[in-house]
Structure 1
Amino acid sequence: MVAVSNFEKAPLTEEVLEKFRSEFFSCPKNVVAQNACSKLDVLDVCTSRQRVQNVSHNFTHKVEMDAKPLTNQKSSGRCWIFACLNVIRLPFMKHYNLEEFQFSQSYLFFWDKIERCNFYLNTVIETARRGEPLDGRLVSFLLVKPNDDGGQWDMLVNLIKRYGVMPKNCFPESVCSEATLRMNTILMSKLREYTRDLRALITSGASDADIRSVIQSQMETIYRIVGICLGIPAKSFTWEYRNKAKEYHCVENVTPLQFYDEYVKPHFNVEEKVCLVTDPRPTSEFNKAYTVDCLGNVVGGRTIIYNNQPVELLMKLVAESIKDNEAVWFGCDVSKRFSTKLGLDDLEIHDYKAVFNTDVVLPMSKAERMMYGESCMTHAMVISAVSIDKETEEPTKWRVENSWGEEINNKGYILMTSDWFKEFVYEVVVDKKHVPQSVMDVFKQEPTVLPAWDPMGTLAKAL
């Protein structure tokens, strides 16, 4: 039964609307702003000229090399994969003295689609056996988007440990990998259909063997759909390349997992990296471990663990990594206070108050933005440089490599201020060697389980 409120609702009367109209046109600044915003992009109108002219894309500490070419995820939510492979390729390219190189993003994407669908179908069984109703919040949430492009760091570790990696020319892009909407729509329709069928099996009392057989049959169809759209990776491949000295080399008949273990892992071991998050909500204590219900991509893979730490520690460890010539994978809410054209993540880049006579986003704290649905992690990128203030020895700004191509941002790069980092960065991945033992010990805790719809369960995928 819905509770009855005695609150008397306030309608917008003609008198109230006339007051709004009169006050709007009585202010000449409103008219100027209206004229500008009717012809120009609102964010362009709000861009602070004063802030722009004080920006410098130079940094005191930078990783040794820039990887080429700049990558472009195009119309897909694969930023988490691109960012991961962009970090991995830096030490790989240095060791093999390569001018240009890319790992195949589509290869990991293929296996994530297959594994993610299987994980989902098994989750359908798990939630049904828990007694979760079809119209309950959990199942309803899972059915909104049963298949997604986005991901988390631990999901990448699951994929690379099981399937390895391969060069991009050995498994190139397809139309469906660069624009994933059509394929995802087909997969989501099938997964909802299969949810109906699996829940019916549970209701009928089907045996575990019968359920596994049905899931296998369903996954054969999923495999066929994904394989048609993306292609199917070869079991083994040959990698031919010339280094900067124009010397020819050839790695013959190697599997993707062998390629990772023998040629990549000695220079970048994903299992030696740890993901630290910062969640300042009152309900989320620092120095505690958390996980999210029903979140994952590989059945039997590692659980996604959030080691919650103050943002200042994340900044410190990222700066130490950069000084040690290690680029850093990180997740953030990229769209807030972001000038896409200029490549700036800066709290002062948009002066909303000058245009609208009210501020936007910043009147709420980071914790409040999470609690009220205003902010969460949406995008993963790579931090490759930092500036350290000489007097305070604190980081002031960061260089970010994006995966939207060279034609956008500042030739593919973003300047991120430390003030912006504190407000909109949610997680970073650094090498264990930089992390204090007391922080590493948090991973040994039994994690608190957050609900599936918690903002910390969002996936990095921004296009």
Structure 2
Amino acid sequence: MALSVPSNAGVPHSNLAKYREKFVSSTKNLLAQNACTTQNILDICKSRKSVQAINHTFDLKIESEGKPITDQKSSGRCWIFACLNIMRIPFMKHYKMEEFEFSQAYLFYWDKIERANYILDSYIDCARKGETYEGRLIHHLLINPLDDGGQWDMLVNLIEKHGVLPKACFPESWCAENSFRLRGLLNNRLREFCMQLCQLVEKGTGEDEIQNAKTAMMEEIFRIMNIVLGTPPEKFTFEYTDTDKKYQSFKDLTPLQFYKDYIKEVVYDIAEYVCVVNDPRPQNSYNKLYTVEYLGNMSGGRKVLYINQPIDVLKQLTIKCISENKAVWFGCDVGKSFSSKEGLLDLKCLDFNLVFDVNPLKMKKYERLMYGESLMTHAMVFTGVGTEQGGNPSDVKATKWRVENSWGDKDGSKGYLLMTDDWFSEFVYEVVVPKSFLSEDIQRILDQEPVVLPAWDPMGALA
């Protein structure tokens, strides 16, 4: 058998010659080549006009924003940071604090443990249904079983069961801030455990033996998490001096007592918030309730639920929250049309057409979801909006949005980003708002039996 490559394989030589001749005949191409072979291509594509138009002034803003700006470092914990950044705002105001952070590492610790247990239960369930590693479902669940990211209802599960801690009582660790190695180790254990559990089910092993095996697996995960993050205190005391220069303290509390007695009953009840999404794919109707198969982090916990609405509904709900002094957790595709140094999320901030003669934004939002071009990748917080006032409050139109990020204070406006309203339309996928802010018609959607999307659906992406 001949091993040589046929002369007519691949792109025809005649076509390559034409491409080359056309490319080198363009002085614009040569200039772009000179620039892009020596610089970051995003810097070359950056629109000076868009950068000059940046103005971090907003006519609607929440009364006070949390301090200090937070930094998730090299981890995928944005969803946790965004939630705790929202929760601390009314907490700081009520308890008169100048600066404060809840422990992000504490929720990260419990999410890894609870999610490992949830995934192991999912493996057992799949095996009982006859799913194998050759099928798409288990293959999907094995890709990144203990991802750092998450969704809002997962946060509700964690906080309602385990409570929260001040960061001073359970500070960051190296593996919390640099989670890549930890995630690799945990994924290794989960994949091996999947193999073992599937083999047990396939052999017809009794339920008690399967559960005993799972218990031993969970002990491994628990041991790893305590080694790399430390062991959270069962009770804690937190002392501080308030803005009136008076000594204050929370004494001898469990994290769950702290949440229930000093947060939930006083300033912020996380369970009262729901997720409204914009999924414009034709097959997924608006005014329907959706969930995603095997998307969760707590066995027997609250399901991840999405109320699907047009994008203008998400905008009006966000404006209503901000006008009533409530910051808004949201999920988006942060990597698209983003100039990070300036903290600018703007469809016009990167001009690929000028440099490459291509337009990366030709696809519609639903087409990007369908063809893998976009999905939720990051969670942040809306704290302000610039508007054009309409005839009544419901007619208020947004022009730009103020965004609190969790990447430190070096970029943007001391860590805050500016998002144009057009960018919101194309790349924001979900907002979390109080259930009471929804119209009665939308609230009734929560009574529906949710449509179950497959585990690999893009709406199952973790922010």
**Which category of TM-score, normalised to the shorter sequence, fits these structures?**
over 0.9
Which amino acid counterpart does residue 442 of structure 2 have in structure 1? Answer: V
Q: In the alignment, which of 389, 393, 397 is matched to residue 394 of structure 1?
A: 397
Sequence identity of aligned pairs in percent?
53
- For the residue of structure 1 that corresponds to 2:56, the secondary structure is coil
C-alpha separation in 2, matches of 1:133 and 1:393: 52
Q: In the alignment, which of 445, 448, 453 is matched to residue 456 of structure 2?
A: 453
Answering whether residue 320 of structure 2 is matched by residue 309 of structure 1, we say: no
Q: In the alignment, which of 413, 435, 448 is matched to residue 438 of structure 2?
A: 435
C-alpha separation in 2, matches of 1:186 and 1:54: 46
C-alpha separation in 1, matches of 2:27 and 2:208: 73
Which amino acid counterpart does residue 374 of structure 1 have in structure 2? Answer: E
Q: Could you tell which deviates more after superposition, 375-384 or 405-414? A: 405-414
C-alpha separation in 2, matches of 1:44 and 1:393: 35
C-alpha separation in 2, matches of 1:191 and 1:181: 15
Match of 1:247 in 2: 246
- Partners of 1:103 and 1:166 within 8 A in 2: yes
Q: CA deviation at 1:388?
A: 1.1
Q: How many residue pairs end up in the alignment? A: 451
- For the residue of structure 2 that corresponds to 1:94, the secondary structure is helix
Q: Could you tell which deviates more after superposition, 427-436 or 308-317? A: 427-436
C-alpha separation in 1, matches of 2:306 and 2:128: 26
Q: Could you tell which deviates more after superposition, 112-121 or 209-218? A: 209-218
Match of 1:212 in 2: 211
Q: Could you tell which deviates more after superposition, 152-161 or 205-214? A: 205-214
Q: CA deviation at 1:345?
A: 0.5
Match of 1:236 in 2: 235
Instruction: Report the CA distance shift for 1:187/1:12 in structure 2 as closer, same or farther (over 3 A).
Output: same
C-alpha separation in 2, matches of 1:106 and 1:393: 39
Which segments of 5 or more consecutive residues in structure 2 lack a partner in the other structure?
1-7
Answering whether residue 366 of structure 2 is matched by residue 363 of structure 1, we say: no
Match of 1:3 in 2: none
Correspondence list, 1:173-188, <5 A = 173-188=172-187
C-alpha separation in 1, matches of 2:454 and 2:231: 35
1:378-397 Cα shifts (integer Å, max 9, x gaps): 00000000011035631111
Aligned-residue Cα RMSD (Å) equals 1.1
C-alpha separation in 2, matches of 1:439 and 1:204: 48
Match of 2:76 in 1: 77
Which amino acid counterpart does residue 355 of structure 1 have in structure 2? Answer: V
Which amino acid counterpart does residue 257 of structure 1 have in structure 2? Answer: L
Q: CA deviation at 1:10?
A: 8.2
Q: In the alignment, which of 407, 410, 417 is matched to residue 407 of structure 1?
A: 410
State the 4+ residue runs in structure 1 displaced beyond 2 angstroms: 390-393
Match of 1:376 in 2: 375
Q: CA deviation at 1:407?
A: 1.2
Which amino acid counterpart does residue 431 of structure 1 have in structure 2? Answer: P
C-alpha separation in 2, matches of 1:27 and 1:307: 50
Match of 1:6 in 2: none
Q: Could you tell which deviates more after superposition, 199-208 or 79-88? A: 199-208
Match of 1:162 in 2: 161
Which segments of 5 or more consecutive residues in structure 1 lack a partner in the other structure?
1-8
TM-score, normalization by structure 1: 0.96
Match of 1:197 in 2: 196
Which amino acid counterpart does residue 77 of structure 2 have in structure 1? Answer: R
1:407-448 Cα shifts (integer Å, max 9, x gaps): 123310100011100000000001122110111111111111
Correspondence list, 1:103-118, <5 A = 103-118=102-117
1:349-408 Cα shifts (integer Å, max 9, x gaps): 111111111111x10000000000000000000000001103563111100000000012
1:116-135 Cα shifts (integer Å, max 9, x gaps): 00001000000001111220
1:20-45 Cα shifts (integer Å, max 9, x gaps): 01100111111111111112111111
Match of 1:227 in 2: 226
C-alpha separation in 1, matches of 2:120 and 2:441: 38
- Partners of 1:341 and 1:410 within 8 A in 2: no
1:232-273 Cα shifts (integer Å, max 9, x gaps): 101110010111122111111000000001111120100111
